[in-house]
Amino acid sequence: MIGGLLFSFWRFFQIVTLIPTLGMLAYFVHQFEKQGLLTPNYVLVLFIVSVLAAAWAIATVFRRKSTRESSLFASFVDLCFVGAFIAGVYELRSIANASCSNFSADSRFSLTIDNNGVSGSSPFHLNVNKNCAMLKASFAFGIMNCIFFAITAFLLLFMHRNRDDREVVVKETYRRRSHDSR
């Protein structure tokens, strides 16, 4: 019972981290498609793995009883997703050292509402490169999902090990002795 609860808990976190990854990477796939360009491998690999992993995670949550029955197979598939996420993160590794934001001090600002205007200076200003930040977030979510799928693979192995597959067969035999006195 506790294995099933832990499994559902980790699957929930997988789904929660896969949905934003899907959205961010779908944005890049759409942008490249709109411009008529091929989507680069570093986006496409992680996007495809995330789509398949999200479908698998949702299916195993809804079919929890059959997942428990075939926990060895589900564990194998989860380990395959660990390898696929490692490949996706490896393809996107160049974003790890990128600086996606620029923080500066003493910037000027102005705000105008109708005829009333306010201007002044702010001590802080933050510029964030949206594309870089989204790729970096997808990279981080990919690493997190590597860990999450490894955890659920081991939980499924634990659930398989603790299953009681033995079938109890009771065989009753009766012997009748005949006392023939010949």
pLDDT at 61: 87
Which residues fall within 8 angstroms of residue 67, CB to CB, at 6 or more apart? 7, 60, 74, 156
pLDDT at 62: 86
Q: Are 78 and 70 in contact (CB under 8 A)?
A: no
The encoded tokens of residue 88 equal 């996706």
Which residues fall within 8 angstroms of residue 4, CB to CB, at 6 or more apart? 64, 68, 159
Q: Which of 123, 125, 149, 145 lies closest to 60 in space, CA to CA? A: 149
Residues of the chain with pLDDT under 50: none
| Residue listed under structure tokens 């059959």 | 66
pLDDT at 164: 54
pLDDT at 144: 95
pLDDT at 31: 93
- Cα-trace Rg, the chain: 28
Question: In 10-82, where do the E strands start and end?
Answer: none
Euclidean distance between CA atoms 26 and 181, whole angstroms:
91
User: In this predicted model, what pLDDT tens digit does every residue of 145-165 receive, in sequence order?
Assistant: 999 999 999 988 887 665 555
The encoded tokens of residue 131 equal 């594309």
